[in-house]
Amino acid sequence: MADDLDAQIRAAQAARKKEKTADKASLVGDVSYDQDLYGGRGVERFEGYTTSIPVNDEDEEDDMFAKKAKKLSSYTAPKQVFEEMASMEDDVDPMENFRPSRRIADRESEYHARRLNRQLSPERIDAFSGQPANSEARSYAEVMREAELDREQAQLQRKIQEKKKEEEENMKELASSGELQIRAQAQAAAMVEKAKAAAAAAAASADGPKKRRWDQNGEGKTSEWEEDEKSTGGKSRWDETPKEEVPARKRNRWDETPVDASASAWDATPKKQSGAATPGGKRSRWDETPVGITNQFAATPVGNMGLMTPTPGQIPVPMTPEAVNAMRWEKEIDYRNRYLTDEELDAMFPTEGYKILEPPATYVPIRTPARKLMATPTPMAGQAGGFMMQEEDRNQMYDVPPEIPGVGGLQFFKPEDMQHFGKLLDQKDEAELSVDELKERKIMRLLLKIKNGTPPMRKTALRQITDKAREFGAGPLFNQILPLLMSPTLEDQERHLLVKVIDRVLYKLDDLVRPYVHKILVVIEPLLIDEDYYARVEGREIISNLSKAAGLATMIATMRPDIDHVDEYVRNTTARAFSVVASALGIPSLLPFLKAVCRSKKSWQARHTGIKIVQQIAILLGCAVLPHLKSLVEAIAHGLEDEQQKVRTITALAIAALAEAAAPYGIESFDIVLRPLWAGIKKHRGKGLAAFLKAIGYIIPLMDAEYANYYTKEVMIILIREFQSPDEEMKKIVLKVVKQCSATDGVEPQYIKTEILPEFFKHFWVRRMALDRRNYKQLVETTVELAQKVGVAEIASKIVEDLKDESEPYRKMVMETIDKVVSQLGTADIDHRLEVTLIDGVLYAFQEQTVEDVVMLNGFGTVVNSLGLRVKPYLQQICSTILWRLNNKSAKVRQQAADLISRIAVVMKTCGEEKLMGQLGVVLYEYLGEEYPEVLGSILRALKSIVNVIGMSNMTPPIKDLLPRLTPILKNRHEKVQENCIDLVGRIADRGAEFVSAREWMRICFELLDMLKAHKKGIRRATVNTFGYIAKAIGPQDVLATLLNNLKVQERQNRVCTTVAIAIVAETCSPFTVLPALMNEYRVPELNVQNGVLKSLSFLFEYIGEMGKDYIYAVTPLLEDALMDRDLVHRQTACTTVKHMSLGVFGLGCEDALLHLLNHVWPNIFETSPHVINAVMEAIDGLRVALGPSVIMQYVLQGLFHPARRVREIYWKIYNNLYIGSQDGLVAFYPRIENDQRNIYERYELDLVI
């Protein structure tokens, strides 16, 4: 065989020699560049060759330089412009409708949507600035009073509601007792009246009550409007009333006056109002008229004329985004369904054969006003005032991004943006505007650019707005940013950008933000509970920066009123925000406040929120709470005995969070809560008990062994009682606590066996538990934890029978548990009887799968591997199962069977079942024609595992048959197939290359080149290694020839991989077999080839390390040439080579060559291209190691004090590198500096001579 191979190689080489002609550049005969493509041998051959690499690959480092070098053939627009144009064309996405909406409002839950109920309250007085505040700003006292009113009102509502319910029940009783229906109705009416009166009284006493929230308004009605609201199914159309200051569903507050649309949204004094508006002062919301709005969707659709005289100034702005959308839609429908005109009909019908009939005399056109209104569109906002013909509006003006004066072309402009930015379109003369208005427009323009602009526009705008932040002032900035963030059509990207603006602006504004802290919080707090992780992080960052800018006092003063807010949503977000403040400013500074809040006597909500803050702090800060653990626990401890159930629950949860964060330290801090906790679990039931148990579950692991044992026994009684709780949440917590308790040291296995296990298995190991994903996981975890204590046999014997259960999910759960338990603890204590049942059960469960699941496969594999030699009696049975399943119709089943082979191959070998494996090998070989790539990949993997364990020579089918079957499979493009195939081929090349002819290996080499394109790194690495094995097997020449030829290809990745392969070939076959051909290839006048050669050299010297000392003199002339080349990449790659080379030969006496190379490297220090300068610096660093710091120091001294700054800069940079690398080594080589009259510079210590 070997003789045959040698003969082949010799023959091939002889053939090549014959072929070789003197004028070819390449040493390796069959590799030469195409004369047609690259030109002849004359002077002109340099003209045609590629001087640049494709431009579209942006991250291709070579390109950067190539682009620069390329001469302009003609003047044309910049590249970005083309790219932009190109990207605009394929803007239309056919899948648009099927994608999940990017709008935040569309995907958030009802709870999240409650953020829209919050309002951007007026500014607050900055009590710490010492400056007179804006007259509209509210003080802390006012805010607190208002919060108080809110609460009272909510209470009142609740009372009314309760009363109402009571009445209804009475009513029912009456009705059922045979009273007359009419009487009942009268009664009901009276009740309603009464309730109304009560509410009115409440309103009066509350000094103008706020409108109640939708989540609280029950049946209690107070006015017609409320009735109206009810009739529309809870969603009031008044809520929809578009008001500029309160975008969409926002509610108006009684103390806020409605503002005309064209006035600034934040200007609290209305500038232009309808006659109904009361001037200034506090108004009840009841007498509020929607102003400045052309509202088509209001209760009475009368068009804007009906409401007020249209003022010319209020043209485009006011409509809610929903309204705009609806309107756009409706307009289109209207247009499509419009009446056909006579001309159109004439055009449609043939001129002959038809007759136009007179309308019957009795026909009267419909003149009911309602229909009339439908037919003729009311003039709407966004169009010039007055009536307009429908046709003229055919091109929807919003669809095209308009050119906005002073902004330029935007990426997009949504109709919703009109609401905020419409003002920019009103074409007013800038000269007429006041300074404030100009400023407002300026901000608006910048924001629009940031929100809708192209990335470069966005960048400059962001910088401008940051730089000018203090000039603009906090008020104008936030008054525009914040409403945008509240917009219901906001998308993720927009939110991200706006939040970024706030972040940047915060830094600049610093304490100027104080009056706006609350407004910002209202907008940012919802981010803290967003489902998107990044949004949460962003929110935390903003609040943290905000608290640093505004200071602790302001933050507390601002958020204090929200702590006992009526709305749970507000309290929740406030608690989270407070925890962020604590993490930003430190827990100690917030502690006094927390203590006070947690003890608040005024309302339980305040206590609840205070304790929740502590919980959130624990979750957010983790182990950083440890230093303050004691004070935090003390602050909330009393909550365990609070009168309010909710407070007790949250306290227990907070303690659980603290214990989790502190684990495994800090048990002494929890001393004070132990007693109430234990008392609590005896007292409470249901949800409260669950929370208490959770707290205990987290505290027990912190305890010493004996305490843990004692407390576990105490709590276990309760736990076992709760085993039978039907409540899902309780089940999960109980399981978790059992897991935590049994994991502690103090708990004895005997105790678990006798006390816990029987009940545990009775209640939890039931089919129902397998159905819920979270229960399933928790149960498996807990059981595994218990097994750690009581051993495998105890657990396995209890559940192994269930492997034959009829419910598949349950079997799966059993299998997963057995898998985990066995893989952690082994099968040593499983006796023979259990072993039989186990294998039997596993086989049954494996065969009976209806859905092929990796859980079953893993379980099977784990059990077989763990049993090892003991599985021998069952192997025959297992193999027949596998064989049967390999022949199955379903691809999944076949794949799983093949996967199982690769898992148990090692065990089969251990059991000495080579013959069986041979059989499997042949069967797998026969299935290599498999068409499903997933299955084929698995089959290849199974083959590989068999080859691995039984060796090349014993393999059936023989390798010489197997490999030729694999060659075509290498062409398969599926990743799994490729990976397994290349692994198998590489394995054969490594261990059994002699079984296959050299020609076959060369064929494989060519196939392998394609695999260098693979996306998966593993495949590329395996390919490159396989080149090494093949080269070793058949000699490097032919492989090298193939590889060198491949350096000419265009793809960068392909070339890079080729260079790596060349280096590996050189490494495996000794460099001297490769270097001559490689260096000769450098003579090919082609950029890619030369760079490839240099790169190969770089990898080569990296791999061969100190072996490089024998080759350094050989390659020096080549590197010399490369370091003097005009092409940057040449120099860069040569520098990298020098680095690897010098690091390899450090201390081996090659200093002369290295110094020579240093002289060539050094002139490159002034390069500006980042990659080149990096490579140069690294080369110098490598040379520092090899030559010693003194040599480099002598070079550096030339330029440290050069008159030109540019020179000094780079020299100091090199000096710094040198200094950091060899600080001590430099001491002896600093130049002598002579003393002057002022200072002593001589280092006399170095002059001592004995």
Partner 1 sequence: MSTAAMNMNAQLEHLQSKHVGTGHADTNKFEWAVNQHRDTYASVIGHNTLIAYSAVAENESIGRKKFEMIEKMLQPCGLPVPRDD
456 binds partner 1 (CB under 8 A): no
Q: Supply 1053's token pair.
A: 């990745």
Q: How far is the CB of 1194 from partner 1 (least distance, A)?
A: 16
Q: How far is the CB of 228 from partner 1 (least distance, A)?
A: 59
1230 binds partner 1 (CB under 8 A): yes
1216 binds partner 1 (CB under 8 A): yes
59 binds partner 1 (CB under 8 A): no
482 Cβ partners below 8 Å, 6+ apart?
Answer: 120, 516, 519, 520, 522, 523
Q: Smaller CB distance to partner 1: residue 667 or 1177?
A: 1177
| Alpha helix positions (H), 513-551 | 517-528, 533-550
Q: 606 to each of 118, 397, 654, 939, how far by Cα in Å? A: 19, 51, 15, 65
> Which of residues 1062, 1177, 1179, 1183 is near partner 1 by CB under 8 A?
1177
> Which of residues 497, 1173, 1176, 1193 is near partner 1 by CB under 8 A?
1173
Q: How far is the CB of 1211 from partner 1 (least distance, A)?
A: 8
- Interacting span for partner 1 (CB under 8 A) from 322-330, 501-509, 844-852, 1167-1175: 1167-1175
Q: How far is the CB of 30 from partner 1 (least distance, A)?
A: 40
Q: Smaller CB distance to partner 1: residue 834 or 1226?
A: 1226
- Interacting span for partner 1 (CB under 8 A) from 202-210, 373-381, 426-434, 1164-1172: 1164-1172
- Interacting span for partner 1 (CB under 8 A) from 640-648, 996-1004, 1046-1054, 1209-1217: 1209-1217
CA within 13 Å, CB half, 219: 17
- Interacting span for partner 1 (CB under 8 A) from 6-14, 104-112, 1085-1093, 1214-1222: 1214-1222
23 binds partner 1 (CB under 8 A): no
Between CA 751 and CA 716 the distance in angstroms is 11
Q: Smaller CB distance to partner 1: residue 846 or 1211?
A: 1211
Q: How far is the CB of 461 from partner 1 (least distance, A)?
A: 18
Instruction: Let me know: does 562 contact 602? Beta carbons within 8 Å.
Output: no
Helix axes 533-550, 517-528, angle to 10 degrees: 150
> Which of residues 128, 387, 1166, 1201 is near partner 1 by CB under 8 A?
1201
- Interacting span for partner 1 (CB under 8 A) from 301-309, 607-615, 999-1007, 1166-1174: 1166-1174
Phi-psi region for residue 178, left (φ > 0), alpha (ψ -120 to 50) or beta?
Answer: left
Residue with tokens 């280092």: 1243
Q: How far is the CB of 970 from partner 1 (least distance, A)?
A: 39
Q: Smaller CB distance to partner 1: residue 884 or 1201?
A: 1201
Q: Smaller CB distance to partner 1: residue 395 or 1168?
A: 1168
1226 binds partner 1 (CB under 8 A): yes
Q: How many residues bind to partner 1 according to rule CB under 8 A?
A: 35
Phi-psi region for residue 587, left (φ > 0), alpha (ψ -120 to 50) or beta?
Answer: alpha
768 burial (CB, 10 Å; 0-12 / 13-18 / 19+) is exposed
Between CA 1246 and CA 1250 the distance in angstroms is 12
> Which of residues 70, 354, 1170, 1198 is near partner 1 by CB under 8 A?
1170
1227 binds partner 1 (CB under 8 A): yes
1234 binds partner 1 (CB under 8 A): no
Q: How far is the CB of 1240 from partner 1 (least distance, A)?
A: 6
1215 binds partner 1 (CB under 8 A): yes
1200 binds partner 1 (CB under 8 A): yes
Residues 145, 147, 150, CA angle at the centre, nearest 5°? 110
Q: Which residues of 321-336 are buried (b: 16+ CB within 10 A; e: fewer)?
A: bbbbbebeeebeeeee
Q: Smaller CB distance to partner 1: residue 761 or 1212?
A: 1212
> What is the DSSP secondary structure assignment for residue 246, as one 8-state letter?
B
Q: Smaller CB distance to partner 1: residue 510 or 1178?
A: 1178
Q: Smaller CB distance to partner 1: residue 627 or 1170?
A: 1170
Q: How far is the CB of 901 from partner 1 (least distance, A)?
A: 51
Between CA 1241 and CA 633 the distance in angstroms is 61
| DSSP string over 952-991 | TTT-SS-HHHHHHHHHHHTT---HHHHHHHHHHHHHHHHH
1250 binds partner 1 (CB under 8 A): yes
| DSSP string over 330-348 | HHHHHHHTPPPPHHHHHHH
> What single letter denotes the amino acid at residue 1063?
A
1208 binds partner 1 (CB under 8 A): yes
Between CA 984 and CA 710 the distance in angstroms is 58
* Residue 246 bridge partners (DSSP): 243
Instruction: Let me know: does 1129 contact 1095? Beta carbons within 8 Å.
Output: no
Q: Smaller CB distance to partner 1: residue 364 or 1250?
A: 1250
Between CA 890 and CA 447 the distance in angstroms is 58
- Interacting span for partner 1 (CB under 8 A) from 492-500, 757-765, 1123-1131, 1223-1231: 1223-1231
Q: Supply 535's token pair.
A: 């949004």
Q: Smaller CB distance to partner 1: residue 971 or 1206?
A: 1206
Between CA 120 and CA 247 the distance in angstroms is 10
1245 binds partner 1 (CB under 8 A): yes
1219 binds partner 1 (CB under 8 A): yes
Q: How far is the CB of 55 from partner 1 (least distance, A)?
A: 13
Q: How far is the CB of 1125 from partner 1 (least distance, A)?
A: 20
Backbone angles phi, psi at 609, to 5 degrees: -65, -40
Between CA 441 and CA 928 the distance in angstroms is 71
Q: Smaller CB distance to partner 1: residue 61 or 503?
A: 61
> What is the DSSP secondary structure assignment for residue 550, as one 8-state letter?
H
- Interacting span for partner 1 (CB under 8 A) from 14-22, 204-212, 500-508, 1232-1240: 1232-1240
Instruction: Let me know: does 582 contact 614? Beta carbons within 8 Å.
Output: no
Q: Supply 125's token pair.
A: 């007085």
> Which of residues 278, 383, 788, 1217 is near partner 1 by CB under 8 A?
1217
Q: Smaller CB distance to partner 1: residue 814 or 1177?
A: 1177
How many Cβ atoms sit within 10 Å of the Cβ of residue 436? Answer: 13
Q: Smaller CB distance to partner 1: residue 721 or 1243?
A: 1243
1240 binds partner 1 (CB under 8 A): yes
> Which of residues 9, 25, 64, 623 is near partner 1 by CB under 8 A?
64
974 burial (CB, 10 Å; 0-12 / 13-18 / 19+) is middle
> Which of residues 204, 553, 836, 1246 is near partner 1 by CB under 8 A?
1246
Between CA 499 and CA 502 the distance in angstroms is 5
Any idea how long the chain is?
Answer: 1250
For the chain, the straight-line distance linking the first and the last C-alpha, in angstroms and rounded, comes to: 76
772 Cβ partners below 8 Å, 6+ apart?
Answer: 728
Residues of this chain that interact with partner 1 (CB under 8 A) are 64, 1168-1170, 1173-1174, 1177, 1200-1201, 1205, 1208-1209, 1212-1213, 1215-1217, 1219-1220, 1223-1224, 1226-1227, 1230, 1233, 1238-1241, 1243, 1245-1246, 1248-1250
